[in-house]
Amino acid sequence: MGNFLRNVSRNKALLFMVLPGAIWFFFFSYLPLAGTIVAFKEYRVSRKGFWASIFNSEWVGWDNFKFLFSTEDAFVITRNTLLYNIAFIALGLVFSVLMAIILSELVSRKMSKIYQTGMFLPYFLSWVIVGYFVFSFLSMDRGLLNQMLGWFGMEPVQWYSDPKYWPYILVFVNLWKMVGYNSVVYLAAILGIDRSLYEAAMIDGANKWQQIRRITIPMLKPIITIMTLLAVGRIFYADFGLFYQVPRDSGTLYAVTNVIDTYVYRGLMTTGEIGMSAAAGLYQSVVGFTLVILANYAVRRIDKDSSLF
């Protein structure tokens, strides 16, 4: 106990800085954990308020989870969620790092800032707006792409009813929106690299490419690992807006656009069973948690310093 107090007083400045975040986590992440219980109940409203409703609702065991696995859609939504997220993580990483390096190598600081802001902007747009952007390109009769196809004498394409284009469209749109934000993180890391390393390399006669390969990328490795590990933890969560708004909820595209989150939304918006949506959320978190632990374990085996914990 005495040890603990001494620790606290020695680190009080640091602990104080952690406090707001810790409080936030306590209220919005740890406290609601108790509500996970709803996933195993058939939630019914009780006169006596929220907690009484939870306690008085009937236990139903694993029944709430059944709808996730009951049809062949279970395979489709799991596959789509996983593959899209893997593509987003892998391509997002490549493009973000690439952009960060290019931005850091630009001589003109001013231009670099302009490009950075331009790339950053889409991140702040809501998916609904992005959905309309995309629609203005892909609309059947008024869309830019179909008009361009028309100039070349080609037949217009029914973009919103042909699934074969959508894996590419979705990956592209997601990269367009997310790369700017992530590259800023990497850019900050690059700017933090000790300049003397590059000076030494230049004296040894290393060219730009060699500097990037031998200094920048190795120095970025820890942050790359951390960012990727964090992304892996959310691999079972799909970005609802991307998969619902951008394809305009078009039924014929479901084979390539239906993911866990959209499936849950569509399945439950009429019945509104809180228990079932809680079950879906719990399932996603448990799988995400397991994957983070596994990935972290793997990273630790290879390079102990880069692992999260």
CB of 289 to another protein, least distance (A): 17
Q: CB under 8 A: which stretch of 110-118, 173-181, 192-200, 250-258 binds another protein?
A: 250-258
Binding segment for another protein (CB under 8 A), chosen from 12-20, 59-67, 101-109, 300-308, is 59-67
Binding string, 193-232, against another protein, x = CB under 8 A? ----------------------------------------
Candidate segments 17-25, 205-213, 227-235, 267-275, binder of another protein by CB under 8 A: 267-275
Cα–Cα nearest to 242, from 230, 255, 258: 258
Q: Does 266 bind another protein (CB under 8 A)?
A: yes
Name the β-bridge partners of 42.
Answer: 58
CA angle 15-289-4, nearest 5°? 25
Kindly tell me which residue out of 127, 236, 243, 254 binds another protein, with binding defined by CB under 8 A.
Answer: 254
CB environment 241-276: b (16+ within 10 A), e (fewer): bbbbbbbbbeeebbebbbbbbbbbbebbeeeebbbb
SS3 308: coil
Binding residue count for another protein, defined by CB under 8 A: 46
Alpha-carbon distance values, 120 to 74, 80, 95, 117 (Å): 35, 27, 14, 5
Q: In the set 6, 12, 48, 113, which binds another protein (CB under 8 A)?
A: 48
CB within 8 Å of 292: residues ≥ 6 apart? 229, 232, 233, 308
71 touches another protein by CB under 8 A: yes
Q: How far is the CB of 274 from another protein (least distance, A)?
A: 6
By CB under 8 A, tell whether 43 contacts another protein: yes
| Residue of 177, 195, 185, 197 lying closest to 222 (CA atoms) | 185
- In degrees, to the nearest 5, what angle opens at C-alpha 235 toward C-alphas 226 and 54? 110
Write each residue from 20 to 39 as x if it is in contact with another protein (CB under 8 A), else as -, in one continuous string.
--------------x-----
> With binding defined as CB under 8 A, does residue 141 bind another protein?
yes
CA nearest 234: which of 127, 92, 121?
A: 92
Asked whether 70 and 87 are in contact (CB, 8 A), the reply is: no
The residue among 183 and 258 lying less far from another protein, judged by its C-beta, is 258
| Rounded Cα–Cα distance for residues 264 and 256 (Å) | 16
Site for another protein (CB under 8 A): which residue of 36, 73, 185, 219? 73
The footprint of another protein (CB under 8 A) covers 34, 42-53, 55, 63-64, 66-67, 70-73, 139-141, 158, 160-161, 248-252, 254, 258, 263, 266-274, 276
